[in-house]
Structure 1
Amino acid sequence: MAIYLDADACPVKAEAERVATRLGQPLVVVSNGGLRPSANPLVQMVYVAEGPDEADKWIAAQAGPGDVVVTGDIPLAAKCVAAGARVLKHDGEALTAANIGNVLATRDLMADLRAADPFRQGGGRAFSAADRSRFADALDRVARAAAREAR
């Protein structure tokens, strides 16, 4: 049982480490580099080769039943859900077998809409303290459930 964090452009690294530490669960932080290593013995830093989706490929190959994956990458989330892992987005939203198809379809639709409007500005609202809190609560709940399930 581990918590895998897709750490490139992840806004909740500190929250994930706090939850993993509180629960005594290993946290595997996966990135292309550029992140400071943690002194926490429960945190394992994994640096993958430069290139598109290398961190995603590594996480997808490792994650399975009893694991929790934190990512904003929907195709990676779909692979991890299919492998039996529990998946959370950075805002605490759970991605499951019941909703991943709709989330993938929405992602594709939004990509098409963005491509059709070259003048579109902005990228949505800022990540808030409430988002961080919601994520930490969701990760705590999901990690506890995964640990119970793994026993």
Structure 2
Amino acid sequence: MIYIDADACPVKEEIFRVAKRHNLQVYLVSNSYLSMTVDENVHKVQVNADADAADDWIVERITAGDIVITTDILLADRCLKNSACAISPTGKVFNNDNIGAAKAMRELRTYLRETGLAPSHNAAFSKQKRSQFLQAFEEMIQSIKRNASR
């Protein structure tokens, strides 16, 4: 299964296409209503507005072999602890070897933004990032399938 931290995910349509090709179920989890039309393998889940409600919903359900797509490093860490896979919409794959450094960089960026030493906006989402995501996402699915057949 694929879980999307959906409120700000820029690659939903790409995920839907890949999931359909691999016959995988997708859960779009958000705090707000998503007005998009989806097909039978995509499930929209709207949780309450609490800050971590979507994260908590995903973590309660995700298991080994599942994938979460998120920019939230703390959510990625929680999912890795459940033996799931985690990837950002830019194609960065989180794993047990790099999640500690990612969390440290998150803290540093937060500090720099709070002190005015770094910009508070995110860069535009480029075609290159979209392509990197698609390649890493496909590789992740193929790896999970190979491991499942062993």
Specify whether residues 121 and 99 from structure 1 end up closer, same or farther in structure 2 by C-alpha distance, changes over 3 A only: closer
Gaps of at least 5 residues in structure 1 are none
**Number of the residue aligned with 1:146:** 144
Q: Please show how residues 1-151 of structure 1 align to structure 2 within 5 Å.
A: 2-117=1-116, 120-121=118-119, 123-151=121-149
Deviation sequence 1:74-121 (CA, Å, 0-9, x none) = 11000001110010011011000000000001100111111112x754
Gaps of at least 5 residues in structure 2 are none
Shift of 1:122: 5.1
Q: Residue type of the partner of 2:111? A: D
Shift of 1:11: 0.7
What SS does structure 2 have at the residue aligned with 1:36?
Answer: coil
Specify whether residues 38 and 148 from structure 1 end up closer, same or farther in structure 2 by C-alpha distance, changes over 3 A only: farther
Specify whether residues 38 and 122 from structure 1 end up closer, same or farther in structure 2 by C-alpha distance, changes over 3 A only: same
Identity %: 37
Q: Contact 2:87–2:94 at 8 Å: present in 1 too?
A: yes
CA distance in 1, matches of 2:24, 2:10: 20
Count of residue pairs brought into register by the alignment: 149
CA distance in 2, matches of 1:140, 1:112: 34
Moved over 6 A (4+): none
Q: Residue type of the partner of 1:104? A: K
Q: Which has the higher contact order (CA 8 A, sep 6+)?
A: 1
CA distance in 1, matches of 2:45, 2:144: 22
Query: Pairwise CA RMSD of aligned residues?
Result: 1.5
Q: Contact 2:113–2:120 at 8 Å: present in 1 too?
A: no
Q: Contact 1:26–1:42 at 8 Å: present in 2 too?
A: yes
Q: Residue type of the partner of 1:125? A: A
